[in-house]
Amino acid sequence: MRRADAARLLGVSVDAEPAAVRRAFRLWAAVTHPDQGGSPEAFDRLCAARALLLEPVPMDPAVAQESDTPTPRPRRPWSQVLRRPSWWSALVTSLLLVVALGAVPLSGQPWGIALVAVAATAVSVAVSKAVLDRPDHGHVIVTRSVSWGSVVALQLLGAALLGLPLIEALPLIAVPFVAAIALVNPGAGLWRVNVR
């Protein structure tokens, strides 16, 4: 069956959107389905027409070369992105972690909550810079999310042991982290920032 025949059978144009093809198929299937009194052959032809029209149209390679749309590079696997941190970056990250955990007793004050929040975000940024080698935005966002979550969990545990209600300030603690993620996320639309 040709695409033109399939389009004629469904009553749509040859270049119809997938939603229009599906909508036309549902209308015709209600009439031609064998359970509704239609013939199995007519229903099979209808299914074949839908499948043919929903297949992507193969593009001529010469036209594809001239296209302005860039083809995305495949994402590198984690094994190629992760690296062992240098001693300097490990030292800086460790010092930031000590500050983040040391700020927990100060979280009873408003400025102490700000210090806890900024320190946790700083640790997540330092970890992503220390352990990633030429990452894409997804690698950075995942690494920062996991490290920030781990640090905040340790901070909340420390606050619980000290009897401080830090969990009530969790939305405030997340604000600097959300800003740090938005700066590397191209979907946020803030501006284009180099992840390294």
Residue that has been written with the tokens 């100060």 in this structure = 106
Burial class (CB in 10 A: 0-12, 13-18, 19+), 196: exposed
Residue type for 60, please? D
Q: For the residues 59-79, what does the mean pLDDT come to?
A: 63
Length of the chain (residues): 196
8: which 2 tokens?
A: 């004629």
Burial class (CB in 10 A: 0-12, 13-18, 19+), 89: middle
- Give the H or E element holding residue 165: none
Q: What is the pLDDT of residues 12-26, one digit of tens each?
A: 888 888 888 888 888
pTM value is 0.58
Mean pLDDT for all residues in the chain: 81
Cα end-to-end span (Å), the chain: 52
Q: How far apart are the C-alpha atoms of 62 and 70, rounded to whole Å? A: 15
Predicted local distance difference test score (pLDDT) of residue 91: 92
CATH pick for 3-65 out of 1.10.287.110, 3.40.50.300, 1.25.50.10, 3.40.50.261: 1.10.287.110
Q: What is the pLDDT of residues 137-173, one digit of tens each?
A: 788 888 889 999 999 899 889 888 888 887 788 888 8
